[in-house]
Each structure stands twice: as structure tokens, then as C-alpha cells.
Amino acid sequence: MNFPISADNISKTFGRKPVLAGLTLEVPENGIYGLIGPNGAGKTTAIKIVMNILRPTSGRAYVLGTNSMHLSPKDLACIGYVAADQQLPGWMTLEMLLAYLKPFYPTWDDSYAAELVRDFDLPLTRKIANLSHGMRMKTALACSLAYRPRVLLLDEPFTGLDPLVRDELIGGILASGEHATILISSHDLNDIETFVSHVGYLDKGRLRFSEEMSVVTSRFREVQVLIDGATPAPGSWPAAWLNIEQSDHMVRYVDTNFDRQRTLADIRRIFGDATRVETKAMPLRSIFVTLAKSARREA
């Protein structure tokens, strides 16, 4: 399998503070990979290392098979990058910015750029400094999509945006996904769950899992067990059960490795046959909260 974006055992330390600790990551070709995790987990640092905005303390990142530290202008002409804190030349109008950028990108598509401007309802002649935050984010994305990049990196692109602008950006991202490999970090989990093909959970600089979205949503389940009799001692719980809550006749938990046959066998082994079991699928946001709470309790 081809991986246009990858990281090989990357570590990054700022002073004495470790931010990434042996991050290994592979984003499959034409995939849309969602990188999620708590604040301070290292998501932005990882993306900036891939873009060669930051240098890793150790390890390597690769884009389209090239070490990120050796990306040439030709390589960069195939890579799009949009970040929530991205700076744009406020004195320029969008019309001026598009004209300025065009010579740098051999694959620039004037008709597609005009289509993006129309779809995003962007004013060509207004100075960028006078645009709203949402308009500036749409401007940054339009500029990054106009040359049809083979790789697109998005760092918290939905921060501070209203639902309409988020939908417009998602539409642009999905359109580019037909010909690009995309890595996106975001806390807007309800949004990215609708379109990512893969997801990785980063916590304290380490990638806890990296899987297809369908695999993640199939193996996490909220489970409630109603029991005839007293619940057993906490020391007997399986390792895959997180955030366990119990009362006299009920145990509720999240099974992180759900398999109906195995899960029911574990429940019968622990609680006996006199039980009623209810299971519920979990959205990505609930999975994130479960993992974050569990990590906080273990800290």
C-alpha cells in the first residue's frame, strides 16, 4: 500500500518538554485521515513536522516519498496546507492573492479557482484584512485547492466557524478528496466523523491507535449489564473495559474491543447467566471522551 504521508518514529522536545514520543503514522493514498486527541497531545506539532515548519528531534517524516526536511519547491507545489492560525497577507485582495500564487504552481487551474470562489461566496475585491475569520479560512482553503494538490494537510480548520461555513469547508475538502490524500486534525469530531476514512488517537505524544473509521466504531460499545445479585469486586474486570460504573444491580462500562460472542462470554463468566445486557454503538465524540477520561484517571 502506498502512503503519501508518513512519520517514522518521530520525537520532538521543546527544551525539556517532550511533545512527541516515537510517533509512527501512515496515511493511505486517497484516504482522509483524522488525527484526534486532547489539547497538547502533539497534533499540530506532528503536522508542522510533516510540513517542515518544525524539525523533529529524532525520526523522519515523509511526503510523497520525500523526507520532509528535503522538500523542494517542486514537491511543495503538490502539497496544500491550511491551519486555523494561518497568516494571510491582509493588504491583498483575494483577486491579488490568487494572481500572486498562480506562478508558483504548475498545476494551477483557473477554472477550478473561479469555481471555488463562487462556491465559497468569496469577495474577490475586498482586502483580506477586512474578511471575517470564516471568510479567511475559506480563502486559505480555496488557495490551497486551486492547484489540485496531491496531499492536503489541515490543522484545526473548523475552529471558531459557524455551522454553515463548516459545511462549506467540508464540501471543499470532500471535493479535493477525489484526487488528494488528506490529513486533518480537529476537535470538531461530529463533523469529521461524517467523512474521514481513517482515524488516529494521539495522547501525550504517542499514537494510541490508528485504524479505519469503520473498525473504530465497530469495536467501541457502551455496555450495560443488569444483574440479579451483588456485583463482583472491581479487580476482576477485563482490561478492555473502561470507565466502569457500578451499583447494587447494574454495571455500565465501555468495551474497547467489542465482539458480541466474546463480550457475552466475558459477561457470563463474571456475572453468571442471570443478567440482561444492553449494548449501544458510540459516535466518535463519545469514544474520544471515554479515552480522555480513562487517561486522566490513570495519570
Q: What is the pLDDT of residue 6?
A: 96
Mean pLDDT of 28-46: 93
Q: Is 290 inside a domain boundary?
A: no
pLDDT for the residue numbered 299: 60
Instruction: Looking at the structure, tell me whether residues 270 and 169 fall in a common domain.
Output: no
* Phi and psi torsions of 283, nearest 5°: -70, 165
Distance CA 296, CA 290 (A): 10
Q: What is the CATH number of the domain that holds 76?
A: 3.40.50.300
Average per-residue pLDDT for the chain: 91
Same domain, 264 and 164: no
Q: Does 83 reside within a domain?
A: yes
Give the integer Cα–Cα distance in Å for 185 and 28.
16
Classified as helix, coil or strand, 279 is strand
Q: 186, 214, 242 — which closes off a domain?
A: 214
Could you tell me if 18 and 151 lie in one domain? yes
CA distances from 234 to 2, 17, 241, 245, 247 (A): 45, 35, 11, 10, 12
Assigned domain for 28 exists: yes
Q: By percentage, how much of the chain surpasses pLDDT 90?
A: 69
Contact yes or no for 231/248 (Cβ under 8 A): yes
Q: Do residue 48 and residue 194 come from a single domain?
A: yes
- Domain holding 237, by residue range, is 221-281
- Find, among 20, 22, 26, the residue nearest to 6 by Cα: 26
Q: How many structural domains compose the chain?
A: 2
Q: For residue range 171-196, list pLDDT tens digits in order.
A: 888 887 678 999 999 988 988 999 99
Whether residue 18 lies inside any domain: the answer is: yes
pLDDT tens digit sequence for 63-81 = 999 999 999 999 999 999 9
> How many Å apart are CA 5 and CA 63, to the nearest integer?
5
Question: Do both 55 and 127 map to the same domain?
Answer: yes
- Count Cβ atoms within 10 A of the Cβ of residue 296 and give its class: 0-12 exposed, 13-18 middle, 19 or more buried: exposed
- In sequence order, what DSSP letters do the residues of 3-60 get, joined into one string? -SEEEEEEEEEETTEEEEEEEEEEE-TT-EEEEE--TTSSHHHHHHHHTTSS--SEEE
116: in domain: yes
The residues near 195 (Cβ < 8 Å, ≥ 6 apart) are: 32, 170, 173, 174, 177
CA distance 142 to 101: 11
Is residue 296 domain-resident?
no
Whether residue 207 sits in one domain with residue 64: yes
Same structural domain, 210 and 227: no
Same domain, 97 and 66: yes
Clarify whether residues 204 and 237 are in a common domain.
no
Residues 252 and 113 in one domain: no
pTM: 0.92
Query: Strand 17-27 to strand 79-83: parallel, antiparallel, or no bridges (unpaired)?
Result: unpaired
Instruction: Write out the H or E segment, with its range, that includes residue 199.
Output: strand 198-203
150 with 238, same domain: the answer is: no
Same domain, 277 and 197: no
Domain boundary among 196, 214, 232: 214
